[in-house]
Structure 1
Amino acid sequence: MEIENLSEIKTTYSADEAYQKSLVYFKGDDLAARVWVNKYALKDSYGAIYEATPDDMHRRIASEIARIDQRYPNALTEDEIFELIRDFKYIIPQGSPMTGIGNPYQIASLSNCFVIGNNGESDSYGGIMKIDQEQVQLMKRRGGVGHDLSHIRPKGSPVKNSALTSTGIVPFMERFSNSTREVAQDGRRGALMLSVAIKHPDSEGFIDAKMEQGKVTGANVSVRIDDEFMRAVEEKRSYVQQYPIHGNDTLYQKEIDPTLLWKKIVHNAWRSAEPGILFWDTIIRESVPDCYADLGYRTVSTNPCGEIPLCPYDSCRLLAINLFSYVEKPFTKDAYFNWELFKKHIHAAQRMMDDIIDLELEKIDAILKKIDDDPEEAEVKRTERNLWLNIQTKANEGRRTGIGITAEGDMLAALGLRYGSDEGTKFAVEIHKNIAIEAYRASVMTAKERGPFAIFDAEREKNNPFIQRLKEADPELYFQMLEHGRRNIALLTIAPTGTTSLMSQTSSGIEPVFMPVYKRRRKVNPNDKEVRVDFVDEVGDSWEEYVVFHHRFKQWMEVNGHDLTKNYGQKELDDLVKQSPYYKATSNDVDYHKKVQMQGEIQKWVDHSISVTINMPEDVTEELVGQLYMEAWKAGCKGVTVYRDGSRSGVLISNSEKEAKAEEDEKNHASFPVIRPVVLEADVVRFQNNRDKWIAFIGLIDGRPYEIFTGFLDDEDGILIPRWVNEGLIIKNREADGSSRYDFQYQNKRGHKTTIEGLSYKFNPEYWNYAKLISSTLRHGMAIEKVVDLINSLQLDESINTWKNGVARALKRYIPDGTEAKKQKCQNCNSTNLLYQEGCLTCKDCGSSKCG
């Protein structure tokens, strides 16, 4: 075939070719190169990669934004935009915009965040199922979703259907969570935020829902706390919960002691880092879009990380400004911040964000066309089509943007300011005040050229505290806004910037540096004369230890004449850190109270919200967590999350900390009673291997597996129990030596108990014998991941391999998130840096995940 236009031929690359070229681009940074290739390089559904380095991606993005900007006066050129975004130096489109702009191979949204809902009114099954479908439809287009459950009537409320009474909020939490986990997003799981008002009578059940192992694992959860509740806790007086939560026409009321519920929130957050807290009255009071609440802009929930409170069917796109890049002569005594360039770039960033809204509207048109062209009946497609029409209306009408930042920690260090110090906080607040003023000024100037957002009304906004703050700081800006309007209903946020900071090689978002330097291990061949063996593990594998420097810490070392090629010992590394501006300024060093105050001060200049975590050591008390929550409310924070070290696994820790944790784990593993209790709480896990359906009965002590028995499910030789059985389960044993009969008991929907007698008689004898051996290892405290390794290593006949795989799969659910997987390799990139996450093996290097 004769090719008419050679310019239409696109070069493609293999994953390895793109990785090697990107490795050069990132100057040898393996993790940054793998993250970019796996998550952001332009690729089609067959795996062909069309971009070799981020330069190609940035040129694609610049071309598309310039195409839109040409529609308006004073347009930016493609080259000007490219210089702003190249090398992740100044302006960084985040996540969905980076992936989706100019991408012809995906019909996906450019929005990072969505909130959906029924305007807080419909709690019918039809309304709930509509939300469930909308959630799934958004996630398949790459968006993170939030919605509030306060509209669902509390447990036990009368309903006019066969159930007679409502099941309440908690079962629907599990439904929405499961839906999230079912949606594949090119290797990334869906992201969901579920929230509920503290005023709702089921809020206690909501707060406890995730404390049960394996429950609601597909969602973040946050409680919307009002000022009245906080005052009631502080003053030790009663508080009234009601349904509906708004108004005086209530169907149900109850008076509670708020301190008991407060202590539960604090305890659960101390134990598991959830629920998060949303100070709802502060959010609503400060929200500029809520000036238009009667026009459909009443805020009802937030996106999954909490930084964008939204009304139903609104969405937002995110962009980060790299603060470190505006520090001239960084890490020297002559370092200074380039305010002039910074302000100029804020204006360009806000203009580009408005262009990205136009690009998003084009994407929505393509999504709607795809829906219309699909062969399903119109009735099947109706919910999805109406969803995107609603989102289109909000995006076009309000034109919401999400300008944020990254590298706050590195910026302060480069200027010689310690994160968390009074001086450092004062400078950080000045940064965000200037972002607010200049972004709003840019939106006013853009409105002058392009027109204001459709429903702009200065009279509605005149008493809003955020607008009043802007007026006081810059009266001229305010009067320009009165004259020309504003292009965007709300503009600012501070989001987490995980992969963004990896690729910009800076600290993440508003957070301090996690660790300026740490050690990692690389497996080596001990016979290779070119390698150094620093460590031999328990199975005889040899490892070389090497030091990993945070990129900007390495830059500080270079500027200050420290040798980067030297093999430093731990004491030398500690001494280096002490000399640096990162000393006493890492996540675990920063004073908690100072960080809360810093967040509150910065929040005054962010019209949406801030994603930030208060890191605390493992031995911190629950009382201190509660104290910090109270301080955060008084400081004007819109939300707060506390992470106590060890409350969730998976955080990078030092070698000495790992050893101490291992010793503590050994103590914990040996804490089971010597004699088996007569009755154990139980869990049921159903799964399928090949065509066989299986069920596992797992006896638990303190939520940890103590024994496991498995067999066929729902066939003539197997066990038949209802699908809904997963609560109130126990396993009874009549004698303590484990040789007697085991009975399984559950409650039916009317509260009556049903017993399946003699589990041992229901199984193939060979399965039962192996189950007793495996249960013995569990009872003697062997770590779950090691039990799984043991099961996988069993050499069994082919006829019993399905059983073996099923037992391993069932137990993997109980491996704590963040546990390292030994002696296994990533099938995608061959890395040995694997962690268990929710029972799945996840590669920390390339992000791929494998379950089962």
Structure 2
Amino acid sequence: MEQTTKKVEKQKETVKEKKVYTQEEAYSSSLNYFKGDELAARVWVSKYALKDSYGNIFELNPDDMHHRLASEIARIERNYANPMTEEQIFEVLRDFKYIVPQGGPMTGIGNDYQIASLSNCFVIGHDGPSDSYGGVMKIDQEQVQLMKRRGGVGHDLSHIRPKGSPVKNSALTSTGIVPFMERYSNSTREVAQDGRRGALMLSVSINHPDSESFIDAKMTEGKVTGANISVKIDDEFMKAVIEERDYIQKYPVYSEEPKNVKQISAVKLWNKIVYNAWKSAEPGILFWDTIIRESVPDCYADLGYRTVSTNPCGEIPLCPYDSCRLLAINLYSYVVNPFEKDAYFDYELFKKHVAIAQRLMDDIIDLELEKIDAILEKIASDPEDNEVKGVEIRLWEKIKAKAREGRRTGVGITAEGDMLAALGLRYGSDEAVDFSVDIHKQLAVAAYGSSVVLAKERGAFKIFDVEREKNNPFIARLKEASPEMYQEMVKYGRRNIACLTIAPTGTTSLMTQTTSGIEPVFLPVYKRRRKVNPNDKNVHVDFTDEMGDAYEEFIVFHHKFAIWMEKNGYDVHKRYTNEEIDEMVAKSPYYKATSNDIDWVAKVRMQGRVQKWVDHSISVTVNLPADVSEELVGQLYIEAWKSGCKGCTVYRDGSRSGVLVSNKDKKTDGGAMPAKRPKELDAEIVRFQNNKEKWIAFIGLYDGRPYEIFTGIADDEEGIMLPKAVTDGKIVKNTDEDGNSRYDFQFSNKRGFKTTVEGLSYKFNKEYWNYAKLISGVLRYGMPINQIVDLVAAMEFDNENINTWKNGVERALRKFIPDGTEATGSVCENCGSKSVIYQEGCLICKVCGSSKCG
């Protein structure tokens, strides 16, 4: 406690020494930095500007941030031969023009106010078979500990016994995979509260007898909402699908002496995968044999580098307790004379910067090791006893050991779509694909060449063994592409066990003002809204929301499309008609090259060809119109496998909009509910804060849809005493001794026995209960949940306590809004777009991707 107090006092002293900027000062300076781009300025100030826990801002604009990064990286450089200077590093980082650290590295390097890892991705798991409750709980705790440090986590469930398997405890048989999916999902949602975002990937092998249940788990509304899911598919299963024959599932998976064997129709299970992906965009597919066959780290599988799962977006397959940091190279910046007839790609500068990027990534590993030491020091100073802290301590020690031994990096790219357009190439065309493949080939050779130079200067990663790698297909391609570099690698080794990836760049691309990752442009032209005073002169009111606020619509051009316009004599400030815009786009290199335009089969083939030069994986989504068939989705998956992709995800327009169904397969939103309350309803528990008090909401569900709500103080002598592990149960309507209706909550305790909390409505404050009854009445009438949430949000009270209670109820109900539901009347605070939808209880803008969680 004394150490924590001293740290807080030290932080306050530091604030006195450093220049502190107001939000408005930082935003104004950043707006000027980004040349009037409000979205980029807001994103940088809110996500990346250096801040302390009190909200004090210490950086005025991204120049300050890039000086912070350059200073820290240069400090590491000075530990080695031939160090780069701070000025040299700053020049490749400045203006987001060439090299862009992503996420964790950008926020964490040189940040003494936050004790967090620099890694973007983690995978956890067991070194061997372990499906005991102890093993399950250990993974749960490790997942939470990583997420609180803002890391994305993945782990595999293939080690868990199939449903019905005998176990040596009072349950007698295993519950299977699905209940544990829900456990891990709920943990993610808990950590993601209060503005934090949790990200989880759950995977399972197609060889597992419970894989069908895994594939179906998210098709029940409200289930496993805190995780992405992907199924690991082997070559044998794909061949069985194509040949329409049976497939053998086993537990343990791929065992020579399985305890459980199940023969299934490969086509039947395949059709379910395809249907679910068509219907809800999940599960994603991981072509696991391709991943393992191509994986360079798996040459060291027996030394602890056996790949078991991926990070939440799928671009980094990892072994247990390994992690990766990400960095993107802005491809557009290497196009000389963009959008002109003599445009060309500067290969020499590109290869020079790739080598520098790999070098900086290796420096960032050293910075990460320092961060892990700080995390371990923080844990050691925490007041809990060592038994409580043991799992967390061992977790970070394992992650540190893997980072130090393998030194894995994640050099990637962004702006592929803009690069091609600037060169006059249409994304998806044969010529564009050939060019992209060559770029990624050059990138791979340059990055691995840099890692070899680093090995010569700094030493190879600890377990490097050229003999182990000699039959790896990726290494073989590098050897053929650059025999000289390969011979140097044989002589000196390599500094990093793996080097490359292509990740989604998200907010990074907002600041580079380019297309994201390997993806094409989403739209070259779109509309935004800005709030206006309708009484002002020269204001054109295009939209008035339900609160009476007026908005003006205006056209926004994608940044690089605007450059094309200027070079072709168009006025970017003119107000164009829709017909004029269509005519203009048709003349540009972005024509028929948006995410919804390009040929889908060509896209997966391009992904497969580029994958040959990426040692990790590629995060890419195939966007499909709403009217495509299930058969097309299946064809795309098969083509992806044949093309050499390591994974594939499809998104059919609107496929997340109200498609999830209850476990009774009935309509879950809209339409009247039964007027007479059933005696028993399933219930979910949502915990929230009401004016600093811990409160709890019991939400009764009819066919998966909220039917009633009870709220009150939790964990208090006058409130509800309920174990925190309880997340669901049943609300049963009974009659008390006086003949009055009574609502009891029942749940199963740790020993499997039913525990009853009597009289929910009696236990809670009458004033709150009356408001809850009113909301329950609206729920029972059948109004769509998003409209009920809007109704609750619009309620205004003079009592501050009731207002904060109302906010908690709003957040509790928002959880049940089907993903993809349009947020009617909502406007994105970042870009002003009206294309805002609900996604896992958050408001997501479909135009700029910004997220807001209540």
User: Which residue identity is paired with 2:786?
Assistant: E
Residue aligned with 1:544, SS:
strand
Q: CA deviation at 1:317?
A: 1.0
- Mapped pair 1:592 → 2:600: yes
Q: CA deviation at 1:835?
A: 5.7
Query: Which residue does 1:446 correspond to in 2?
Result: 454
- Mapped pair 1:236 → 2:244: yes
- Mapped pair 1:193 → 2:201: yes
Cα shift readout 1:520-562 (whole Å, capped 9, x = no counterpart): 1222221111422223456654221111111111111111110
User: Which residue identity is paired with 1:177?
Assistant: S
Does structure 2 retain, via aligned residues, the 8 Å contact 1:696–1:810?
no
Assess, with a 3 A threshold, how the Cα gap between structure 1 residues 255 and 820 changes in structure 2: closer, same or farther.
closer
Residue aligned with 1:547, SS:
strand
Query: Which residue does 2:360 correspond to in 1?
Result: 352
Q: CA deviation at 1:820?
A: 5.7
Residue aligned with 1:76, SS:
coil
Residue aligned with 1:188, SS:
coil
Assess, with a 3 A threshold, how the Cα gap between structure 1 residues 805 and 450 changes in structure 2: closer, same or farther.
closer
Q: CA deviation at 1:9?
A: 3.5
Q: Counterparts in 2 of 1:21-32, with a 5 A limit?
A: 21-32=29-40
Does structure 2 retain, via aligned residues, the 8 Å contact 1:458–1:482?
yes
- Mapped pair 1:561 → 2:569: yes
Distance across 2 between alignment mates of 1:846 and 1:591 = 23
Cα shift readout 1:561-599 (whole Å, capped 9, x = no counterpart): 101111112121111111111111001111110001000
Assess, with a 3 A threshold, how the Cα gap between structure 1 residues 558 and 797 changes in structure 2: closer, same or farther.
closer
Q: CA deviation at 1:786?
A: 2.1
Q: Counterparts in 2 of 1:93-172, with a 5 A limit?
A: 93-172=101-180
Residue aligned with 2:204, SS:
strand
User: Which residue identity is paired with 1:684?
Assistant: E
Query: Which residue does 1:813 correspond to in 2?
Result: 815
User: Which residue identity is paired with 1:95?
Assistant: G
Q: Counterparts in 2 of 1:167-316, with a 5 A limit?
A: 167-183=175-191, 187-316=195-324
Distance across 2 between alignment mates of 1:764 and 1:64 = 55
Q: CA deviation at 1:841?
A: 5.4
Candidates 613, 622, 638, aligned match of 1:630: 638
Assess, with a 3 A threshold, how the Cα gap between structure 1 residues 746 and 256 changes in structure 2: closer, same or farther.
farther
User: Which residue identity is paired with 2:291?
Assistant: I
Distance across 2 between alignment mates of 1:328 and 1:474 = 26
Stretch moving more, 342-351 or 766-775: 766-775
Distance across 1 between alignment mates of 2:376 and 2:745 = 50
Does structure 1 retain, via aligned residues, the 8 Å contact 2:297–2:305?
yes
Q: CA deviation at 1:381?
A: 2.4
Distance across 1 between alignment mates of 2:185 and 2:777 = 33
Query: Which residue does 1:460 correspond to in 2?
Result: 468
Assess, with a 3 A threshold, how the Cα gap between structure 1 residues 440 and 266 changes in structure 2: closer, same or farther.
same
Q: Counterparts in 2 of 1:515-530, with a 5 A limit?
A: 515-530=523-538
Cα shift readout 1:156-185 (whole Å, capped 9, x = no counterpart): 222222222222221221222222222259
Q: CA deviation at 1:718?
A: 10
Cα-Cα RMSD: 3.8
Cα shift readout 1:635-657 (whole Å, capped 9, x = no counterpart): 1100011011112359xxxxxxx
Query: Which residue does 1:613 correspond to in 2?
Result: 621
- Mapped pair 1:787 → 2:788: yes
Distance across 2 between alignment mates of 1:424 and 1:272 = 31
Assess, with a 3 A threshold, how the Cα gap between structure 1 residues 693 and 188 changes in structure 2: closer, same or farther.
closer
TM-score normalized by the length of structure 1: 0.88
Q: Counterparts in 2 of 1:393-404, with a 5 A limit?
A: 393-404=401-412
Stretch moving more, 185-194 or 751-760: 751-760
- Mapped pair 1:551 → 2:559: yes
Does structure 2 retain, via aligned residues, the 8 Å contact 1:588–1:616?
yes
Stretch moving more, 554-563 or 775-784: 775-784
Assess, with a 3 A threshold, how the Cα gap between structure 1 residues 229 and 763 changes in structure 2: closer, same or farther.
same
Assess, with a 3 A threshold, how the Cα gap between structure 1 residues 364 and 745 changes in structure 2: closer, same or farther.
closer
User: Which residue identity is paired with 1:269?
Assistant: A
- Mapped pair 1:384 → 2:427: no
Assess, with a 3 A threshold, how the Cα gap between structure 1 residues 546 and 451 changes in structure 2: closer, same or farther.
same
Cα shift readout 1:394-426 (whole Å, capped 9, x = no counterpart): 111111111100000000000010011111111
Residue aligned with 1:46, SS:
coil
Distance across 1 between alignment mates of 2:719 and 2:487 = 77
Residue aligned with 1:545, SS:
strand
Does structure 1 retain, via aligned residues, the 8 Å contact 2:710–2:760?
no
Distance across 2 between alignment mates of 1:220 and 1:681 = 28
Stretch moving more, 462-471 or 376-385: 376-385
Assess, with a 3 A threshold, how the Cα gap between structure 1 residues 819 and 35 changes in structure 2: closer, same or farther.
farther
Does structure 2 retain, via aligned residues, the 8 Å contact 1:743–1:755?
no
User: Which residue identity is paired with 1:45?
Assistant: S
Stretch moving more, 835-844 or 561-570: 835-844
Stretch moving more, 32-41 or 536-545: 536-545
Does structure 1 retain, via aligned residues, the 8 Å contact 2:603–2:622?
yes
Query: Which residue does 2:512 correspond to in 1?
Result: 504
Q: How many residues align?
A: 823
Assess, with a 3 A threshold, how the Cα gap between structure 1 residues 535 and 802 changes in structure 2: closer, same or farther.
closer
Distance across 1 between alignment mates of 2:717 and 2:634 = 54
Distance across 1 between alignment mates of 2:138 and 2:521 = 42
Cα shift readout 1:319-338 (whole Å, capped 9, x = no counterpart): 11100000000011111111
5+ residue gaps in structure 1? 651-666, 734-739
Stretch moving more, 206-215 or 741-750: 741-750
Assess, with a 3 A threshold, how the Cα gap between structure 1 residues 200 and 81 changes in structure 2: closer, same or farther.
same
Query: Which residue does 1:684 correspond to in 2?
Result: 684
Does structure 1 retain, via aligned residues, the 8 Å contact 2:711–2:772?
no
TM-score normalized by the length of structure 2: 0.87
Residue aligned with 2:208, SS:
coil
Distance across 2 between alignment mates of 1:807 and 1:13 = 35
Distance across 2 between alignment mates of 1:15 and 1:203 = 49
